[in-house]
Chains A and B, each alone.
Chain A
Amino acid sequence: MNIIVVGLSHKTASVDIREKVAFAPTNMEKPLRALVDIPDITEAIIVSTCNRVEVYVTTHDIAGGIARVKRFLADYHNLSLENLDPHLYAHHGEEAIRHVFRVASSLDSMVVGEPQILGQIKTSYGYAAEFKSSGIILNRFLHKAFSVAKRVRTETKIASSAVSVAFAAVELSRKIFDELSDKTVMLIGAGEMCELAAKHFLNNGVRGVMVTNRTFERAERLADEFGGRAVKFDDLFDYLHKADIILSSTGAPHCIIGPKDLDEVMRKRKQKPMFFIDIAVPRDIDPKVNDVENVYLYTVDDLQEVVQANLAQRAEEAKKAEDIVNQEIGQFFKWLSSLEVTPTIVALRARFDEIRRTELEKTLANWKDLPPDGQKRLEALTNAIMNKLLHPPTSLLKKAGQGGRTDLYVDALRALFELQTADEGEQELGELEE
C-alpha cells in the first residue's frame, strides 16, 4: 500500500490559482466521497488552507493514483489539467511521508514555525474521520504527523520568537514592563503599522489607549475604534507622562519629541520606564531619547532587525526540526512497509499450494494401480517440497519486514509469481496495527 500526496502551495502557485483549487470547509463530504470512489483509491484526506491545497490518498498503483488525483483536482474545480498541472507537486513513498511531517511541523510554511497549520491539518483530518474517508493507514499517518509536529515544537525553538514587527514590539515591552495589564499605550499619528501594533498591544492586555493626531477628528475616530480616548495634538505633552508605551508615526518633517521634553515627563512619572516605538520616516523621536535614563527607543528598523534575527534563529532551529522529521520517517516507513509482508507471504503460499494441488490431482486421476497409502505419501512428499522451497523467501521477507526495506522483495515476489495484489491483506492490517 502506498501513500501519495498531490497538491499545490504558496511555493508553487500564486494566490489566484490557490483560491480556485481551495475546498470550502462547509462542504467537505462531497469531495472526500468522490475521492474514495475513484478506483484503486482506498483512503483520502483533503487539507485546504489559504496557503495550500493537498490531497493525501492511499493506493496500490502509484503512477495511476497520482494521475487520478490530479484529474480529480482539475475536474472538481472545472479547471483544465494542462493549466493546473505545472503548479502541482506529487510525492510518494518516503517523500510523501516527509512532506506531510514537514507541513504539520510548519517547516513548509510561508513563515516557518507559524502555529496555525497544525490546527488546520487537524481540522482536515476531522472531516476525513467524520465522513469516514480515512482508514487504518491515513489515521495512523496523521496521528504520527501530529506527534512529530509536537516533538518539533517542544524540542526546538522554532516558534519561540516574534517574526512580525508588531509582535516584536509587544515582546520587547514584556522585557521592560513585567505586566501589560496596567500599562497605557499612546498612538501619535496614524498609519497601518501603528494601528496594527496598537491592536497587538490591546490583544495582549494593555489597560488603555490614548490617540492623538493633528486632525482631531481622526484621533477621535481611532480612539473610538480602540475604545480609548482622543487627545488634542497640542496637549500631547500634558498627557505623555500617562503613557507607558508610545507608538509614533506622524508625517512630521522633523522630530516632535526630544530628550529635553522628557525631563519633565520622567519627573512626573517618578522615573517609571517608557518605551517609545518610532515607526515614522523621517523619524518622529530624536534618537538621543534612547540615552535618557529608563527610556527605551526602538525604530521600525530596530524592530525589523529583531525580526530578522528571530527569523535566522528559526532557520537554525528548522535544521534541528528536519533531523527530528528524518528520524520519524524511518519509523513510520518501517511500519508502512511491514503492512505488505503478511499478505504477500499468504499469497505466495496460496499460489504454491494451488499449483501443487492441481498437479497432484492430475497425477492421481490417471494412476490406476496406486498403492493404498499412495495418495497420503504423495501429499506428504509434495507438501515437503513446497515447504522447503518456500522457507528461504518467507524468512527473508519476515526479516526484511523488521528492517523496513521490504518493498523491493514484495514487488519482486509479486511480479515473479504473478501474485494478486487484491485487498485480501487488508484484514491482516488490524493485527499488525500494534
Chain B
Amino acid sequence: MNAMLYFFTLGLYLAATITYLVYLVKPQPSLAKTSRWIIYGGFLIHALFTLGRYFEGGRTPITNLHESLSFFSLAIVGVFIVFERRYKVTILGSFVIPIALVLMSISMLFPMGIAPLNPALKSKWLVVHTVVAFLGYASFTVAFGAGIMYLIQERFLKQKKLGAMYQKLPSLDKLDDINYRCLTFGFPLLTLAIISGAIWAETAWGTYWSWDPKETWSLITWFVYAALLHGRLTTGWRGRKAAILAIAGFFVLLFTFLGVNLLLSGLHSYK
C-alpha cells in the first residue's frame, strides 16, 4: 500500500514536471491549470505516504537517506504551493518541481524498508530538528528556482531579446521579492534547526558542538545565507547579486545535505 503511494507520487511528480516544462515553451493557459492540479494531487498523496510511514514505523520518517530525500521533496512541493498561490507565478513550477522530482528519484536508490531506529535518534528532538531543517532547505530551494528565473529574465532584458519566454517570466521585482521572502522564511528555520540540533547533541552526545562535518557545513550554509540577508538589508544586495548568492547558497546546501552524508563520515551519516 505504502509502496504504491510512493510510486504514485513519483508518477505525479513526473507528470507535473513534464506539464510544467511544456508550459515553459508553449503558451497555453490550460497547461498551467493542469500542472497545478497534478502537483496538488502529488502533494496530497506524498503527504499520505509520509503519514503512513509515520504510523507504520511509529516515528518521524526522516531517519535515513531514502526518507530524508522523500521528505525534502515533500517540503519543496509544499513551500512551492504556498509561494505559487501567494505570488500567482505558475512558471515557478517549471524551475522548482523538477528538483523535487530529481530528489524523489534519487530516494529510489536507497533502501526503502523501515529499519529499526538508530538508538542515537530516539528522541523527541528528531521531529523538531529534521522538519524545521527541511522546511528551511525547501524555502532555499524555491529561492534557487527564483534566482535562476531572475538571471534568465535579467539576461533577456539586458540583451533586449524579448521572446516568448520573456513574456511568460514574471517581472524582475517579483522574482527578487520571492527570493527575499524565501530567505526570510528559510533563514530562521535553518537557525532553529542548528540550535535545536545543538541542544539535542548536548542531551545525546554530551556536547553542544563537536565540529562534525554536518555541523561544520551547516554553519557554512548558515553563513552564506546570513551574508546574503545582511547584504540585502544594509547595502542593497538585490537583483542579480541576490540571485547569484541564492543559487550558490543552494549548492552549498546540497553539499551539506547530500555530500556530507555520502562523502564525509561523521555523526550525521545516516544512509
A binds B: yes
A interface, CB within 8 angstroms of B: 157, 161, 172, 174-179, 267, 269-273, 290, 293-294, 296, 298, 302, 305-306, 309
Inter-chain contact B236/A178, CB cutoff 8 Å? no
Smallest CB gap from A306: residue in B: B162
In the complex, chain B residues whose CB is within 8 Å of the CB of A176: 157, 171-173
Inter-chain contact A270/B235, CB cutoff 8 Å? yes
- A306 to B163 Cα, complex, angstroms: 10
B241 at the interface (CB under 8 A from A): yes
Inter-chain contact A178/B174, CB cutoff 8 Å? yes
Smallest CB gap from A294: residue in B: B239
16 A-B residue pairs with CB within 8 Å: A175-B166, A175-B169, A175-B172, A176-B171, A178-B171, A178-B174, A178-B177, A179-B173, A269-B236, A271-B241, A273-B173, A273-B239, A290-B158, A294-B238, A296-B157, A306-B162
- A267 to B236 Cα, complex, angstroms: 8
Inter-chain contact B170/A270, CB cutoff 8 Å? no
In the complex, chain B residues whose CB is within 8 Å of the CB of A294: 238-240
- A271 to B157 Cα, complex, angstroms: 17
In the complex, chain A residues whose CB is within 8 Å of the CB of B27: 157
Query: Given A294-B240, A296-B158, A309-B162, is A175 in contact with B153 using a C-beta cutoff of 8 Å?
Result: yes
Inter-chain contact B236/A175, CB cutoff 8 Å? no
In the complex, chain A residues whose CB is within 8 Å of the CB of B185: none
Chain A nearest CB, measured from B166 CB (Å): 7
B85 at the interface (CB under 8 A from A): no
In the complex, chain A residues whose CB is within 8 Å of the CB of B171: 174-178
Which 9 residue pairs spanning A and B have beta carbons closest together? A270-B236, A271-B236, A178-B173, A178-B174, A178-B171, A294-B239, A175-B171, A177-B173, A271-B238
- A221 to B131 Cα, complex, angstroms: 62
B237 at the interface (CB under 8 A from A): yes
In the complex, chain A residues whose CB is within 8 Å of the CB of B238: 270-272, 294
- Other contacts beyond A176-B172, A177-B173, A271-B239: 11, CB < 8 A: A172-B162, A175-B166, A175-B171, A175-B172, A176-B157, A178-B177, A267-B236, A269-B236, A271-B235, A273-B172, A290-B158
From 70 to 116 in chain B, residues with beta carbon under 8 angstroms from any chain A beta carbon are none
Smallest CB gap from A266: residue in B: B236
Chain B nearest CB, measured from A325 CB (Å): 22
* Interface size of B as a range: 20 to 34
Inter-chain contact B235/A175, CB cutoff 8 Å? no
In the complex, chain A residues whose CB is within 8 Å of the CB of B166: 175
- A294 to B240 Cα, complex, angstroms: 7
Chain A nearest CB, measured from B23 CB (Å): 16
In the complex, chain A residues whose CB is within 8 Å of the CB of B160: 298, 302, 305-306
- A161 to B168 Cα, complex, angstroms: 12
In the complex, chain A residues whose CB is within 8 Å of the CB of B157: 172, 175-176, 296
In the complex, chain A residues whose CB is within 8 Å of the CB of B240: 293-294
- A302 to B159 Cα, complex, angstroms: 10
In the complex, chain B residues whose CB is within 8 Å of the CB of A172: 157, 162
Smallest CB gap from B170: residue in A: A178
- A305 to B171 Cα, complex, angstroms: 20
In the complex, chain A residues whose CB is within 8 Å of the CB of B241: 271, 293
Smallest CB gap from A157: residue in B: B27
Chain A nearest CB, measured from B91 CB (Å): 13
- B209-253 CB mask vs A (1 if < 8 Å, else 0) is 000000000000000000000000001111111000000000000
In the complex, chain B residues whose CB is within 8 Å of the CB of A272: 236, 238
Smallest CB gap from B236: residue in A: A270
Chain A nearest CB, measured from B174 CB (Å): 4
Smallest CB gap from A171: residue in B: B162
In the complex, chain B residues whose CB is within 8 Å of the CB of A271: 235-239, 241
In the complex, chain A residues whose CB is within 8 Å of the CB of B158: 290, 296
- A293 to B172 Cα, complex, angstroms: 13
Smallest CB gap from A299: residue in B: B160
Smallest CB gap from B242: residue in A: A271
- A269 to B171 Cα, complex, angstroms: 19
- A107 to B131 Cα, complex, angstroms: 58
- A270 to B239 Cα, complex, angstroms: 11
- A294 to B154 Cα, complex, angstroms: 9
- B112-131 CB mask vs A (1 if < 8 Å, else 0) is 00000000000000000000
- A290 to B171 Cα, complex, angstroms: 18
Smallest CB gap from B160: residue in A: A302
Smallest CB gap from B171: residue in A: A178
In the complex, chain B residues whose CB is within 8 Å of the CB of A161: 167
Smallest CB gap from B159: residue in A: A290
Chain B nearest CB, measured from A22 CB (Å): 38
Smallest CB gap from B27: residue in A: A157
Smallest CB gap from B157: residue in A: A296
In the complex, chain B residues whose CB is within 8 Å of the CB of A302: 160
Chain B nearest CB, measured from A313 CB (Å): 9
- B166-209 CB mask vs A (1 if < 8 Å, else 0) is 11011111100100000000000000000000000000000000
In the complex, chain B residues whose CB is within 8 Å of the CB of A178: 170-171, 173-174, 177
- A306 to B157 Cα, complex, angstroms: 11
The listed residue with most B CB atoms (<10 A of its CB), out of A172, A271, A298, is A271
Chain B nearest CB, measured from A173 CB (Å): 9
Smallest CB gap from B161: residue in A: A309
- A294 to B169 Cα, complex, angstroms: 17
In the complex, chain B residues whose CB is within 8 Å of the CB of A298: 160
- A174 to B27 Cα, complex, angstroms: 19
Chain A nearest CB, measured from B195 CB (Å): 31
- A309 to B157 Cα, complex, angstroms: 15
- A300 to B170 Cα, complex, angstroms: 24
In the complex, chain B residues whose CB is within 8 Å of the CB of A296: 157-158
Smallest CB gap from A297: residue in B: B158
- A174 to B173 Cα, complex, angstroms: 9
- A270 to B240 Cα, complex, angstroms: 13
In the complex, chain A residues whose CB is within 8 Å of the CB of B237: 271
The listed residue with most B CB atoms (<10 A of its CB), out of A161, A176, A298, is A176
Chain A nearest CB, measured from B218 CB (Å): 29
In the complex, chain B residues whose CB is within 8 Å of the CB of A305: 160
Chain A nearest CB, measured from B140 CB (Å): 22
Chain B nearest CB, measured from A164 CB (Å): 15
Chain A nearest CB, measured from B183 CB (Å): 16
- A302 to B167 Cα, complex, angstroms: 17
